[in-house]
Amino acid sequence: MQRYWQRKPLLVRQAIPDFKPLVDRASLFAMAADSEVESRLVIKPFKVQHGPFARNKLPKLSQNDWTLLVQGVDLHDDKVADLMHQFRFVPDARLDDVMISFATDGGGAKAGALVVFEAQDAAEIEAFSAADPYVVNGVYDRIEILRWDKTIG
């Protein structure tokens, strides 16, 4: 951990050999319908809705470009809770919960990353992005720097 912790991303292939999904699609959709479970629906281009979601309120499986994210799955499924316990060596400040996503073609968990910086000019942001460990190590498919002069609230 000393080599990678907060320095660069680390992908460990087959960290859990022969791992099989612990929650099937129907169970994940049922969790998303539960008012006690935090869930979000992301539809490209970046429209976010918060659950709960009745199954008939989710887009059709044949519709592209959407992702269902279900948060805290370890709190609602014993098998996922057991998986989470395998990571108890990670400090609590860095170990939150297990989020599971379901995505149709064109969707995906990568569909919703947005970082907003306040800077004097684009060069400052470009320099930061060029040195970002996730960029340097090829984790991101692409980086797009846009001027943001909108008010939220």
Q: What is the pLDDT of residues 14-60, one digit of tens each?
A: 888 888 899 999 999 999 999 999 999 988 877 888 999 999 999 99
* Lateral strand order in the sheet of 66-70: 47-50, 39-43, 66-70, 100-103
Give the Cα separation of 71 and 98 in Å (integer).
6
Query: Which element (helix H / strand E) includes 101?
Result: strand 100-103
State the span(s) of the chain assigned CATH 2.60.120.650.
25-112
Give the Cα separation of 51 and 41 in Å (integer).
7
Nearest alpha-carbon partner for 41 in 61, 26, 59 = 59
Q: What is the pLDDT of residues 27-39, one digit of tens each?
A: 999 999 999 999 9
How many Cα neighbours within 13 Å face the side chain of 35?
A: 0
pTM of the model: 0.66
* Fold of the CATH domain 25-112: Jelly Rolls (2.60.120)
